[in-house]
Every structure is written in structure tokens, then in C-alpha cells.
Structure 1
């Protein structure tokens, strides 16, 4: 793994675990020590996170973790609902990429097993698998514009936060929706696949509603 990727993963993990809450400053030297890399790849990782809207780079000050307002989250999930629904419809109706149904099935099975085991660490792993599941569908759509836009909307820290906010029943319903999306794709039913995907994204937004408030001094993402 490239040094910049290691630094990126370290920062993202720190945000997910709460080491870098919204509004906190990320020190390059601390990240470098944590990731075992020099400061140059840390800067590269921060630029990537900035492009994804996860951190804000302030001239002569450094990087600060972005906070999200309720309006920001509504905008993000509205776009996700439309684009994710379109992507899965493309997978069914006019796929231009390879769709590995056994791999998607294996992801669903692993998520279900992790949920049965319980625990915060398993919930985080479910979040990683959920991102992988959605990313596989984006690639299978064959739409390069979608593949460039959706990763920035499907923020990994937001996925982990949503998973931690959900009750066991809510998370179980989310995994059932993953399974149903796969069944709809296998059946070749685009309407079914899109409807379940849109409901799935709406449920993810609902899980974050208790996190909508943020301190006034937390920078929001620039328009």
C-alpha cells in the first residue's frame, strides 16, 4: 500500500473512531507518527480528504474536520437516493461493467454473520462491507461519471456513524435491503431494485437525524 493510502486510512479511521471529531485540527506530525510515514504523504492524503469534503484546508492554519448541518445531510442523501437508484437500475437494464453476483452474495452473508455476533467493531466492519457493496454496483453500472461522484457522497465516516446510531433492528433491516437489492438484480427487475435502493438510502438518512446539530464553530463544507 502506498504511503499516502496508509496516511489516508489512518486519518479516516481517526475520524470514524472519534479521535478527530468535527471541528478538530489534524496535525500532520501526529498523523505521520501514527501511520509510520513522512509528512509528505500525509499532505497528499489531506488533499484527497479535502476533495471528498471530509476535511477543510485553511491557508496557513492546516486541516480541520468538517461538520455537517442538517441541510447538508439532506442534500447529500437526496443526491445519493437519486444516483444510487439510477446506478442500480443501470446495472439491471444496461450494464456496462462486470457484476459479480457471488461476491455480492458473500458480502451480504458476511454482514449478516457480523450482525449476529454484535459489537461496535463488527458494526464498523459492516460499514466497510456496505461501502464495498455499493461501490461494486457503481462499477457495474459502467457510468464513469457516477463512479467519480458517488464516492464523495458515500462518505465512509458517515456510514460508520449511521451504523452506530442504528438499533439492532434498524441495522438488520438495512442488511435485508442489501439482500433484496441483490435478489432484484438477479431477477432482472429494475423497478424493484431501484425502489429498494431508494428506501435503503432514506433509512440511512433517518439513522443520522439525531446527529444533525453541530457546534457553531465547526466549519461546514464550502459550497
Structure 2
């Protein structure tokens, strides 16, 4: 559910169907997979160093006795932002930024247990390994899996809320 405004600036709560949620994640998957594919060709050594450091920060955040999900969310957003930056396409960045709704990302991550947090980090590490190798297909494939897994976590939670 989200607050939406009409053209007359009236607010209302909208409910999304599972098809709406699937489409949102599918579009995000398509765009971010394309972004990481572009990044494989264009990423600089400086951005690769930032991505490695980002993964180290995520590892520290989730490696605590009680994982720091807020820190995970911060570094996760930074990680995806670095990929978008490396893709070097203002048009693509605008499209992704309009599509990736932080409340959805936040809600998804809040449902992650330690195993899901560690899996997300492992996918980030694999994405960076693919970028290190300049392997477009590998990077794109892992990004696709990364976002599809998040979709299923979100959808399972959403269905529980609906009863």
C-alpha cells in the first residue's frame, strides 16, 4: 500500500496487486541487469575499489551479533548507486531512480534474516567479481537473480499481510 496523489493533490492509499508488484520488480530487474552489463564495460578501478569497500562495510554490518539492518540498507543503496554510476547513462539512472521505491527495498530488507542478508552480500560479492572480470553476462545474470530473490521475499511478506 502506498500514498498516492491525484492531479488535484488529493491523497489516497492505493493497494497493489501481485501483478503490480511483479511488474515493478521485473522492470527493476531488466534495468539494473542492463546497468550492470554496461558497467562491466565501463567500470573504473576507482569504482571497483569502492564496490569492494562497500561489500566489506555490508559484511561488518551483518556480521554483528544482531545484524545492523539500517547499515545494510544504507550500503545496499550505495552499492546499487555505484553500479548505476558505473553504467554512465543519465537516462538509465533516471529510469531506475523512478522505479526503485525505497519503501519497498526497506520493507524487503526488514524481512531478511541473517541467511538472507548473507545471501544478498554473496550476490554483491559475485557481481563485483563479474565486474572485475569485465563479464557482462555473468554480472547481468547475478543481478537478475539478486532482484528476483528480493521479489519473492517481498511477495511472501505481502501475501501474509493480505491474509
Q: What TM-score results when the alignment is normalised by the length of structure 2?
A: 0.86
Identify unmatched segments of 5+ residues in structure 1: 1-21, 23-53, 216-223
Equivalent in the alignment of 1:71:
19
Report the aligned-residue RMSD: 2.4
Change (3 A) 1:205 1:101: same
Change (3 A) 1:57 1:194: same
Deviation at 1:153, TM superposition (A): 1.8
Larger radius of gyration: 1
Which stretch of the first structure deviates more once superposed, 194-203 or 63-72?
63-72
Equivalent in the alignment of 1:102:
49
Deviation at 1:78, TM superposition (A): 0.7
Which stretch of the first structure deviates more once superposed, 81-90 or 55-64?
55-64
Change (3 A) 1:140 1:98: farther
2:77 aligned with 1:136: no
Equivalent in the alignment of 1:206:
152
Q: Which whole-Å CA distance do the structure 1 matches of 2:13 and 2:75 have between them?
A: 24
Which of 90, 110, 118 aligns to 2:38? It is 90
Q: Which whole-Å CA distance do the structure 1 matches of 2:151 and 2:125 have between them?
A: 19
Deviation at 1:167, TM superposition (A): 2.2
Equivalent in the alignment of 1:112:
59
2:78 aligned with 1:148: no
Change (3 A) 1:138 1:59: closer
Identify unmatched segments of 5+ residues in structure 2: none
Equivalent residues of 1:85, 1:194 under 8 A apart: yes
Equivalent residues of 2:43, 2:131 under 8 A apart: no
Equivalent residues of 1:81, 1:198 under 8 A apart: yes
Bigger share in helix: 2
Q: Which whole-Å CA distance do the structure 1 matches of 2:94 and 2:45 have between them?
A: 17
- Runs ≥4 in structure 1, deviation > 6 angstroms? none
Which stretch of the first structure deviates more once superposed, 110-119 or 80-89?
110-119
1:138 match: secondary structure = helix
Q: For this pair of structures, how many residues does the alignment match?
A: 161
